[in-house]
Homo-oligomer: A and B are copies of this chain.
């Protein structure tokens, strides 16, 4: 159960509140922070001068804009990029990316590799990840050791964000990535579902559109989802959860990559659209390694007119629509962002998606459902990881209390 508030928690929490306000607003003045947090000016003044002295915040000097208003000009505060760095990595099918991100959230360096994830052993997969991070850190010199690693992975993780339970990118399961990374680099590491990170990023990117409740769906070889409810990332009770692609669309239906039948993904994943377009039986084994170009060509033919391709996209749209309908029966209608290369074919999918939703209980409020397209998933995933890692770091800072450890860019 929830616990009482100790007196010394107060400062900690309010320090965190200030940092979070700066992170959200970018370059707010003390007055703005006071307004958004509801704390008094005196309190904000005290806390921010502490945080500046400790090197987490900076005063932005060079605002050489002729201030339009009278009176003492506001002094903008910003995060001190040098206060910390973190490492983020994104691992998906045959693709690995890692980057160093500063405390202000900007990517400092990035590297990519293309390992054959499906062919690697458990330990080689981990080794590949360790290698790219090592390479990244070596290029940086030893001055600024990062404070944390967050890895986004295509697949399911445990609820503690430490172990990959299952993933379509490798035949192996239960890989303890977080433990391995912590052993190698001696800093805290966590592992997150890639689609969840997409949702986190969308919320930071466009808070006007993606605020309290929305859905991010990845249309790719498989189907993934990140869900934000009440302003918080929704996760399962025992795993990263939100396996929208594996809700049952058609009991006993098409064979899914997960081995079950009738999942949404078994109709709407690239491999499923491909399978249907080829007029292969629904229970034929999902093909791996379908080229993106082939899918594009499929979409072109589907747009051209009737035929197996068009029909394949119809089935995909219906599966997505009925899936969303069932989801909305539980959580109520919400804006949807379709992310990934597959979203480029959204124009072909949309009519069928809308038609399906109209046949479900959420059809009543179909007007409340808006669709949005984001073709590039990688930057989203990276940003989501970065914000997640920085949120952890921020929490550590406010856990500090009176005895603050010197951050890298300490001023006084």
CB under 8 Å from chain B, chain A span 195-252: 212-213, 227, 229-230, 236-239, 241-244, 246-252
Sort chain A's interface into a size bin. 35 or more
CB under 8 Å from chain B, chain A span 1-56: 1-7, 10, 13-14, 17, 20-21, 24, 36-39, 43
Q: How far is the CB of A12 from chain B (nearest CB, A)?
A: 10
Give the contacting residue for A359; candidates B249, B260, B363; CB below 8 A: B260
With CB as the reference atom, state the residue of chain B lying closest to A249.
B251
A236 touches B6 (CB 8 A): no
Q: How far does the alpha carbon of A4 sit from the alpha carbon of B252 in the complex, in Å? A: 52
Question: A4 and B238 in contact (CB under 8 A), knowing A260-B360, A361-B243?
Answer: no
Interface string of A307-343 (1 = CB under 8 A from B): 0000000000010001001110111111000000000
Interface string of A353-365 (1 = CB under 8 A from B): 0001001110101
A10 touches B17 (CB 8 A): no
A250 touches B251 (CB 8 A): yes
CB under 8 Å from chain B, chain A span 147-174: 159
| A251 neighbours in B (Cβ, 8 Å) | 249-250, 318, 322, 356, 359
Give the contacting residue for A3; candidates B38, B359, B365; CB below 8 A: B38
| A246 neighbours in B (Cβ, 8 Å) | 329, 360-361
Q: How far does the alpha carbon of A333 sit from the alpha carbon of B14 in the complex, in Å? A: 37
Give the contacting residue for A332; candidates B38, B241, B248, B332; CB below 8 A: B241
With CB as the reference atom, state the residue of chain B lying closest to A227.
B330
B39 touches A326 (CB 8 A): no
A330 touches B242 (CB 8 A): yes
With CB as the reference atom, state the residue of chain B lying closest to A44.
B4
B244 touches A365 (CB 8 A): no
Q: How far is the CB of A55 from chain B (nearest CB, A)?
A: 22
| A258 neighbours in B (Cβ, 8 Å) | 361
Instruction: Kindly report how many copies of this chain are found in the complex they form together.
Output: 2
| A326 neighbours in B (Cβ, 8 Å) | 247-248, 326
Question: A14 and B4 in contact (CB under 8 A), knowing A239-B332, A248-B325?
Answer: yes
Q: How far is the CB of A269 from chain B (nearest CB, A)?
A: 14
Q: How far does the alpha carbon of A37 sit from the alpha carbon of B10 in the complex, in Å? A: 16
With CB as the reference atom, state the residue of chain B lying closest to A368.
B238
Q: How far does the alpha carbon of A334 sit from the alpha carbon of B13 in the complex, in Å? A: 33
User: 28 A-B Cβ contacts within 8 A?
Assistant: A1-B20, A1-B24, A4-B14, A4-B39, A4-B43, A5-B10, A5-B14, A5-B17, A236-B330, A236-B331, A237-B332, A237-B334, A238-B365, A239-B332, A241-B331, A241-B332, A242-B330, A243-B361, A244-B330, A246-B361, A247-B325, A247-B330, A248-B325, A250-B251, A251-B318, A258-B361, A261-B359, A263-B361
- 10 closest Cβ pairs, A-B complex: A236-B332, A246-B361, A4-B37, A247-B326, A4-B39, A213-B237, A243-B329, A238-B332, A3-B38, A237-B332
List 6 extra interface pairs beyond A241-B330, A250-B250, A261-B359, CB under 8 A.
A4-B43, A10-B10, A236-B331, A238-B368, A241-B331, A248-B329
